[in-house]
Chains A and B, each alone.
Chain A
């Protein structure tokens, strides 16, 4: 009986964690997002006033403001496009790598897996900064290109959207490879041989057998890359230029530079809703589909 009780609490402890450190902060952000801003500390008014009797002091102006200004919508769209492109390239590079790792012998497999995880052992900030050093005008890459005579003057590799995509693909690649590997590891290689035996060449086998059976891994890896990239702040800040504004940066500026807490909170809360709702719907549809297809 005692053990049962312990089990119950043990199982629910992650939910407790989630409520304490996710739902309560989220509620606080929502509260700030509907309050009226003012100069002061904190820079917003209370939503419940008790001066002359009880009064609710809320406004949805912050939401109206961000949804009518192209500055905010545009940056959010930029972030979505960036996340889509980055996820695509992570998948393009990550899938063959994960497949190769999953199908190689156990010794090589362990070495390769360690190599995938090794970057996590050093600081994220440091790794992005290293790219800055490599890509800058007198950086390693430009020096090599100049010495090889491929270019006559240093190329502007840094501070543009391509540098941002490269940096994101580099940092988020392990998050794509690991879940994909997890699925491909269980892949029955006889299925590939069976497909070839039944007359399908390598390319057709990939599209008819390997790809459909890898969908769960592809979905898991893509979500793991896509969601955090939408809100990514550090990489665009360090490698990006002024050619494109991203959601994470706007949020930062609204909060720390403009000290518009209600506006920043409204931006953050809308971002979560816009991102989470379609993903939840997708997950429901997907789980139905995969149950039907028993993948």
Chain B
């Protein structure tokens, strides 16, 4: 795979004294679905706008398919940008919105055919004569997508593509978007603040914070083996425990227990990550706590989530989150509030956060 399809090289950008992007480097492959994830103010949208040509970087280059496009105007770039607000033209109907970008270079007949094809692809044939105001949010999103795809771009940039949709529609559209992307094999780069969205859509994703890229990898890798404390907390639910070396093993003051790691540590003191679904929860009657990687605690809070039950378990100075899958249909299977339980986990489940 050509992983130099889109090369972002040493991009920096400031607005006045405010440094928005600092020395960003990224390589994105052809046909990749790439996510930029960060909270607001992380610089993710500015980076996307630089790719679209709406902002000029202070330093650095953007190279698309071997061509330096850093100084090209938006209308000269072989890529398209889908706006968060969709930015559909209110004075034109759906047909003319879709045809907007191809009107110049195509004959009336070609326009007709192209619009029909794209409308069919997105199942919006019945909307072609509608005004933009007569469309629902989901329909507007499709028109915005179609207006870009009709240009057959090499690269599609999407700014918060699903943020304006309601929750149920969002998960449906997520699936459609990935299917569409795999079918068309266009490289997608999108921006989101929603970690679930980033994980479900991306082949690879970059975590951004304060104008820097903290980590860039597949969603699985970032969830299971985050490199930094920030990423661990940002993606999913995280139990972060401070441990230090004691004799042969490790000890946590907050939990008051010994831990066993299947890995050597550089430092004598460090943070570890324990994901809530990796913890096994058992009734205290069944067995005793072992000397490692287990503790007994009291259930403080419990929320039933259907497929899972989330427990907040208090032990010594800490509250640990545990996600327990509901295997049994018997509701008595759940532990009640206030019950003493034993929690345990495998040594492999402990992830060391080195920095």
Contacts and interface: CB of A to CB of B under 8 A. Distances in A.
Nearest to A198: B101
A188 B85 contact: yes
B131 interface: yes
A198 B147 contact: yes
A191 B132 CA distance: 13
Interface residues of B, number: 25
B83 A190 contact: yes
Interface in A65-112: none
- Kindly name the residue among B73, B87, B104, B131 whose own CB sees the greatest number of chain A CB atoms within 10 A: B87
A107 to B, nearest CB: 13
B83 A193 contact: yes
B182 interface: no
Interface in B85-141: 85, 87-91, 100-101, 104, 131-133
Given A294-B131, A294-B133, A197 B81 contact: yes
Nearest to B90: A294
Interface string A281-295: 000000000000111
B151 A198 contact: yes
B75 A213 contact: no
A204 B74 CA distance: 14
Interface in B37-67: 52-54
Interface size class of A (residues with CB under 8 A): 20 to 34
A191 B104 contact: no
Given A193-B83, A196-B73, A196-B75, A293 B91 contact: yes
Nearest to A211: B91
Interface string B150-161: 010000000000
- Kindly name the residue among B77, B80, B89, B148 whose own CB sees the greatest number of chain A CB atoms within 10 A: B89
A194 interface: yes
Contact of A193 (B81, B89, B132, B151): B81
Contacts of B133: 294
A201 interface: yes
A121 to B, nearest CB: 34
A53 interface: no
A198 B100 CA distance: 7
Contacts of A195: 89, 100
Interface string A181-208: 0000000101101111111110010001
A212 interface: yes
Contacts of B75: 196-201
